Chains A and B, each alone.
Chain A
Amino acid sequence: MPAAAIFVVFLWLPIAKGFVYSFYHVDFVHGNTFAGWDNYRTVLNDRDLVIAVRNTLYFVGLCLAIGFWVPIFFALAVSELRRLQGFVRAAAYLPNVVPLVVLYGLWRWFYDPVGPINAALQGLGLDSIAFMTDPDWSMVSIVLMETWQQFGAAMLIYLAAVLSIPRDWYEAAEIDGAGIWARIRHITLPSIRNLVLLMLVMQLIATSQSYQSQLAMLDGGPMKATLTYALLIVKYATAKLEIGAASALGVLMFLVLALLAVIRNRLSDKGAGA
């Protein structure tokens, strides 16, 4: 079974090596030397770690605040469209197929001080916003960009769930005198509840690992405002060439995310029992 060999060499081996390297000073020229807890001490004493953890939590929170309810809302809205539903679906999904590098090039121009968004703001008589260079705005800018690209996929998944709810239920509820809001609250939302929870967990896991947009758009700046935890890992490995420390950070992250997964399993077990 060649597949088993490939899995061992390219998945399990790196995972195991991650643990091993975190205890070594990795040196490609002179060979590795055992370091004990040195790497962990290095990263835990790094002031950037606090910044990175805070930024990551902030990013995850922003993604929830901005990006999480949007696809649910639009799935409900689009499911009620009687015409052109196929067109709306395709349009909503289209940003998903825009390559990442195009996304970066395009949004850099959008967020430019003399770009279209600031032009529109000025046209409305508002102050222009330094999306990229203002530390208060930079993370928000990235979340907006990623929401633009990704919400279509989530919307389509929700939409399929909403459309699979039997129409008779609404009919029956209406005959019993349930208003529109009551129908949404007591039929639609409970039906997609599990999916919502699942998507929530998947989003948490995905967004907590985010680094590519932050790296490509702003390189973690301005003033480390977009330095996420995963980006710190990459920086340790590429800029500082401290593979051992980067591996140690990876191990720490693994432990935290594993904890999350366990908590999540507990929660879903309880949810099923209740």
Chain B
Amino acid sequence: MMRSVERGILSRYDFRRPGVRLMYGAVVLIIALMVVSMLYPIFVTLFNGLKTNAAVNSFPPTFLPDGWHWRNYREGWQFFDMPLYLRNTLLIFGGNAVVVFGVLGAAAFSLSHLRVPYRRAVTTFFLMTLFIPPTTYIIPNFVNIKELGLMNSFWAFWLPAGANAFYLLLLKTFMDGIHHELFEAARMDGASDLRCFSRIALPLSAPICSTLAIFIFSTAWNDWFWPSLIMHKSVMYPLATAIYKYVIGARQLDLNIRFAILSIVMIPPIAVFLLFQRFIMRGLQLGSVKG
């Protein structure tokens, strides 16, 4: 093999020069600083949630907790109806996922494997929406939901979840890669289009679906503004909106309890990230080629 095993911009020869070594050391130091500043706020949140209130308020602040006060988590859990809001968030996530896989999956399948009249026009009709910035129609969108009578209902999340051109594009691109012969063989055996979709196309799309599932999860977990517009009953709030309304703006809430609540909200997505890193990294690459 001609190629050296390991080299980047710098080669092994470069590393023999002291000036280069010094520079490289400086760069590594900067990277280390970057890593620390990325991780520090996350650990601060976790540790502050375990301190006594006096310790969080001490000046200058300390990093490590003065003791492991797990009681804060129980108090935070009981500060408001956390299980209810959690249930709402999970309901939104579940419904959105069903609609995306069912409706958008079917649309992607038909566009890539069925004979659709005016296929080009239909595809353009879907993908055009990618170029219209969402903020410009956020208010009309809200009025639209209101006029459809969907305020204070989970349908206001589930149905619009199916109107996502980006997800459609990802699903369609993936399904374009499934061999056509597969469906012809199935049809030979008497399978209907619906069966082809639900028994062949969807299961084969599992990799892209898991990436999408993570997208959908993080959207449902993160979104606080849109729910606060369309949900006016507090029993319908998802977790993020409830936190925003009751925790971020709260004045009579001890800082340590506040950080305990924030930790509770932060841990699940971090766990998802650490468990499914591979899918997320792939999702990122997909996002970057979209433009």
Contact = CB atoms under 8 A, between A and B. Distances in A.
A94 interface: yes
B9 A99 contact: no
B20 to A, nearest CB: 7
B80 interface: no
B224 A100 contact: yes
Interface string B195-236: 000000000000000000000001001101100010000000
B139 interface: yes
Interface in B243-267: 243-244, 247-248, 255, 258-259, 262, 265-266
A253 B135 contact: yes
B31 A78 contact: yes
A1 B163 CA distance: 13
Contact of A168 (B3, B103, B110, B229): B3
Interface string B50-80: 0000000101110000000000000000000
B211 to A, nearest CB: 14
A11 B135 CA distance: 12
Contact of B20 (A108, A116, A180, A237): A180
Given A1-B110, A212-B225, A116 B45 contact: no
A106 B8 contact: no
B38 A94 contact: yes
Interface in A156-177: 156-157, 160, 167-168, 170-171, 174
A4 B122 contact: yes
Q: Which of A76, A79, A120, A250 counts the most B-chain CB atoms under 10 A from its CB?
A: A250
A53 B224 CA distance: 25
B81 interface: no
A18 B103 CA distance: 26
Interface in A1-30: 1-4, 6-7, 9-15, 17-18, 21, 26, 28
Interface stretch (A60-68, A135-143, A201-209): A201-209
Interface stretch (B173-181, B183-191, B280-288): B280-288
Contact of B41 (A110, A180, A184, A233): A110
A188 B291 CA distance: 22
B30 A18 contact: no
Contacts of A80: 8-10, 24, 27
B9 A156 contact: no
B138 interface: yes
A77 interface: yes
B212 to A, nearest CB: 15
Contact of B129 (A7, A102, A122, A230): A7
> How big is the A interface, by class?
35 or more
Nearest to A173: B9
Contact of B143 (A81, A195, A212, A243): A243
Contacts, number: 254
A110 to B, nearest CB: 7
B252 to A, nearest CB: 15
A152 B284 CA distance: 11
B97 interface: no
Contacts of B106: 1-3
A114 B3 CA distance: 56
A234 B272 CA distance: 32
B144 interface: yes
Interface of A: 1-4, 6-7, 9-15, 17-18, 21, 26, 28, 74, 76-82, 87-88, 90-95, 97-102, 104-110, 114-116, 119-120, 122-123, 148, 152-153, 156-157, 160, 167-168, 170-171, 174, 180, 183-184, 187-188, 195, 198-199, 201-202, 205, 209, 211-212, 215-216, 230, 233-234, 236-238, 243, 246-247, 250-251, 253-254, 257, 261
22 contacts: A6-B159, A7-B129, A11-B129, A14-B140, A14-B141, A17-B144, A82-B6, A90-B274, A92-B38, A99-B240, A104-B244, A105-B259, A108-B248, A115-B61, A119-B59, A167-B3, A167-B4, A167-B7, A201-B291, A250-B140, A254-B136, A254-B137
- Which 6 residue pairs spanning A and B have beta carbons closest together? A3-B107, A119-B60, A18-B140, A209-B135, A14-B141, A6-B162
Interface of B: 2-4, 6-11, 13-14, 20, 24, 27-28, 30-31, 34-35, 37-39, 41-42, 44-45, 48, 57, 59-61, 103-104, 106-107, 110, 122, 125-126, 129, 131-144, 146, 148, 159-160, 162-163, 165, 168, 218, 221-222, 224-225, 229, 240, 243-244, 247-248, 255, 258-259, 262, 265-266, 269-270, 272-274, 277, 280-281, 284-285, 287-288, 291
